[in-house]
Amino acid sequence: MKKYFLLLFVFLFTFNSFSQLPEDYFTETLSQTFTQPMGTIFNSDGTKMFVWTYSGLIYVLNWNGSDYILQTDAVLDISEEVAVWRDYGLLSICLDPDYDSNGFIYLYYPVDRHHLMNFGTPSYNSNTDEYFDATIARVTRYKLNHLQTPITTDLNSRTILIGETPSTGIPLTYESHAGGTILFGSDGTLLVTTGEGASYTDTDSGSISHTYYQQALTDGIIRPEENVGAFRSQMINSHSGKVLRVDPTNGDGISSNPFYDSMNPRSPQSRMYAMGFRNPFRASIDTSTGSTNPADANPGMLFVADVGWKDWEDLHIIDKPGLNAGWPLFEGQTEQNAINEPTTFDSYYFDRGTTINQDEPGNPTFISLLSQPTSFIDDANPTNRRFTHRRPAVSSRQHSSRSRVPWFNGTTPTDPRVNLANSPTTGNESRANSFIAGVLVNGSNFGPAMTGKFLYADYVRDWINVATLNSTNTPWFSDISTFAPNNFSNGIVHLIQNPLDGSIYYTNIIDGTIRRLYYDNVLSTANINENEFEIYPNPATNKIQIKGLTEPTSIEIFNIAGQLVISKQIEIDSNIDIDISSGVYFVKVNSKSKTYKVKKLIVN
């Protein structure tokens, strides 16, 4: 009986705290908390969980068969190098696909300016930080001593893959918009989502006084041609506002990238896989898609959440090279102008599209190089895809619950709202302020109905949505529904599926918690056979019936406080009076063999 009440307490605590989840889904919080955690990743079998923090610390928790145990000392500390201010910090980490044999870990982060300009010189002071000035973001690789206990890092293994110098990194000319996520494709290439590094307060087409553009020009962080603010996203020879695809051994671009230059494999255009992003903070990949051969230019289907400006949050699906997400000329499904963006601006990016792209022959305007699509069919030539806006799979409004998907009326692009008349997508609309992508659910451990669906969240609104994918991009989502409602959590910044048990881990930067979503239908209210017996109806009013028993037995019914409210001996297939108040109860059916089953009962 003591064991039973312990089990019941766990169920009751979970149900009471998180009844806003769908039936049979629960959440629990890891006992360890962290200071501003940014996310979690797992090794291939889920026996090691790595947590990284905003300040540049990486911890490991080891699975002991029943729980994750935190290693006392951090595995790696790069806080001396990371730019720890505003929207920067250690943004993302990932493990090598062969981590269990080679121990490689990859990091993406903005660099503290003092470290960038002075490390390795007599002027460097490890206690000095330099904020609010131009810097870069970079990608580095380390080798962990992963077969040792405790796990440590070979600090001599540090290798800079992108951003060895101020002129070779991802330019940052203000205090946000670095991106970004680092992850591996199915083909073993390394992918990085980068921001455009421009102002988030004004329409930045270059030389904005409150930005750090002048210092960036002086230091060689940007070329004069790149002094176009957010329009760097539309330049193929800029690292800014892109999905980069590189060789994890040396940081060179991959030869199958659309604009690869064999004479300069480390140039931005050689590394560029997709373009047109504002601040793609979180991205994920469908690991069941893609090729294993880098020459096929198909690392897998990417889900890229691009943080919007003042009206729309975008979730893009990048399934082929050369695609253009449209920023800053487009936000959401449409042009970023006064017609489509009712928020009052001093000016709009679409109006600033007359800015010249000096990297292109003939110095064309940016607006002349990009237009809306006329169908869901992408150009067969990857180098031509940059000229067509690849609209987001879904965009949600910041100021009201409105979600739109891409559609066409003949060859005219339209943007119907989810679940409204003539919309190809059913479900619920959402209000959003910072999309977080997300996880494509693999296997059936997270519930058979969830297999192949995509979960994504919002950092500000703290909801989680579930999207059902079409087999093609016409459009991508057939349904978008609420999985967890507004204010479900406390600053969700990352989601990932644990390969150990299929559960979903989500990270909350505000309260420092790592939480686990899991599926458990032991207490299902469905009227289905549960081994030898069936309880119905459920929900019930004043009677229930238990059928399928082979012998007389007893039942006990407990309220959600764990108090016994009914205890009866019952006969085979008998009706049971339940003169109790409406609410949630738990029914325990005993047997002569001293075993029992527990199911949830709802009384109306």
Quick one: pLDDT at residue 66? 85
By DSSP bridging, strand 464-469 and strand 575-577 are: unpaired
Lowest mean pLDDT among 32-46, 277-291, 547-561: 547-561
Tokens at residue 431, please? 């209000």
Give pLDDT, residue 18. Answer: 45
Tokens of 80: 């001396």
pLDDT score, position 539: 84
Cis peptide leading into 220, omega within 30 of 0? no
pLDDT of residue 530: 40
Name which of 135-144, 219-228, 537-546, 547-556 the model is least confident about.
Answer: 547-556
Q: Which of 275, 467, 273 is closest to 390 using CA atoms?
A: 275
| H helix or E strand, kind and range, residue 16 | helix 2-17
Contact predicate 566/555, CB 8 Å: yes
Q: Which amino acid is at 457?
A: A
In tens, the pLDDT along 225-238 reads 999 999 999 999 99
pLDDT band at 594 (very low <50, low <70, confident <90, very high): very low
What pLDDT, on the 0 to 100 scale, is given for residue 16?
33
**What's the rounded mean pLDDT across residues 458-481?**
95
> What was the pLDDT predicted at 592?
57
For 492-512, the pLDDT digits (tens) are 999 999 999 999 999 999 999
Burial letters 330-349, b for 16+ CB under 10 A, else e: bbbbbbbbeebbeeebeebb
CATH architecture of 31-519: 6 Propeller (2.120)
Tens of pLDDT, residues 282-319: 999 998 999 999 999 999 999 999 999 989 999 999 99
Written as one letter, the residue type at 407 is W
Cα–Cα distance for residue pair 215/205, rounded to 1 Å: 16
Query: 5 falls in which pLDDT band (50, 70, 90)?
Result: very low
Name which of 128-132, 274-278, 348-352, 433-437 the model is least confident about. Answer: 348-352
> What is the per-residue burial (b if ≥16 Cβ within 10 Å, else e) of 278-314?
bbbbbbbbbbeebeeebeebbbbbbbbbbbbbebbbb
- The residue type of 16 is N
Task: Give the pLDDT score at 596.
Answer: 58
- pLDDT band for 595, please (50, 70, 90 cuts): low
- Residue 64's CB is within 10 A of a number of other CB atoms, namely 9
Higher pLDDT, 528 or 515: 515
Give residue 99's pLDDT: 98
Which of 146, 22, 115, 16 is CA-nearest to residue 466? 22
CB atoms within 10 A of CB 541: 10
Percent of the chain scoring above 90 in pLDDT: 77
pLDDT over threshold 50, residue 536:
yes
Strands (E) located in 219-332: 242-246, 272-275, 282-286, 301-306, 312-318, 330-331
**Residue 221 CA, distance from chain mean position:** 29
Q: Where are the alpha helices (DSSP H) in 56-112?
A: 99-102
Provide the pLDDT for residue 307: 97
pLDDT bin (cut points 50, 70, 90) of residue 14 is very low
- Count of CB atoms within 10 A of residue 72's CB? 7
Q: Which helix (H) or strand (E) holds 10?
A: helix 2-17
Average pLDDT, the chain: 91
Question: Which has the minimum average pLDDT: 87-96, 228-237, 254-263, 587-596?
Answer: 587-596
Provide the phi-psi class of 296: left if phi over 0, else alpha when psi is between -120 and 50, else beta. Answer: alpha
**Domain boundaries defined on the chain:** 31-519, 534-603
Amino acid at 512: G
pLDDT of residue 344: 52
Which residue pairs from 517-522 have beta carbons closer than 8 angstroms and sit at least 24 positions apart in sequence? 517/21, 517/25, 517/26, 517/27, 517/446, 518/25, 518/26, 518/27, 518/28, 518/446, 519/24, 519/25, 519/445, 519/446, 519/447, 519/450, 520/24, 520/25, 520/26, 521/24, 521/447, 522/598, 522/599
Mean pLDDT of the region 358-386: 97
Which residue in this structure is represented by tokens 């904005």?
208
Quick one: pLDDT band at residue 251, thresholds 50, 70, 90? very high
Phi–psi pair at 225, nearest 5 degrees: -65, -25
Identical fold at 31-519 and 534-603? Answer: no
**Which tops the pLDDT comparison, 547 or 176?**
176
Among 389, 370, 241, which residue's Cα sits nearest to residue 323?
A: 389
Residues 6 or more apart whose CB falls under 8 angstroms from that of 64 comprise: none
pLDDT digits (tens, 9 = 90+) for 128-173: 999 999 999 999 999 999 999 999 999 999 999 999 999 999 999 9
Residue 97: name the closest of 44, 150, 56, 133 by CA.
Answer: 44
**Does the structure show a pLDDT above 70 at 431?**
yes
Q: Are 261 and 255 in contact (CB under 8 A)?
A: no
Query: How does residue 430 score in pLDDT terms, banded at 50, 70 and 90?
Result: very high
Say which residue, 415 or 10, is predicted with more confidence. Answer: 415
Reported as a pLDDT band with limits 50, 70 and 90, residue 19 is very low
pLDDT-derived band of residue 522, with 50, 70 and 90 as boundaries? low
Q: 534-603 in CATH: which number?
A: 2.60.40.3080
| Confidence category of residue 223, pLDDT binned at 50, 70, 90 | very high
When pLDDT is averaged across residues 544-557 and rounded to a whole number, the result is 79
Nearest CA among 141, 201, 138, 140 for reference residue 165: 138
% of the chain beyond a pLDDT of 70: 91
pLDDT on residue 23: 86
Q: What is the mean pLDDT of residues 98-116?
A: 98
Q: Determine the 3-state secondary structure of 22 from DSSP.
A: coil
> For residues 572 and 583, what is the distance between their CA atoms, to the nearest angstrom?
26
Token pair for 461:
């609104």
Q: Which residues contact 18 (CB under 8 A, 6 or more apart)?
A: 25, 26, 27
Q: At residue 3, does pLDDT exceed 50?
A: no
pLDDT top residue among 345 and 435:
435
Written as one letter, the residue type at 253 is G
Indicate the DSSP class of residue 269.
H
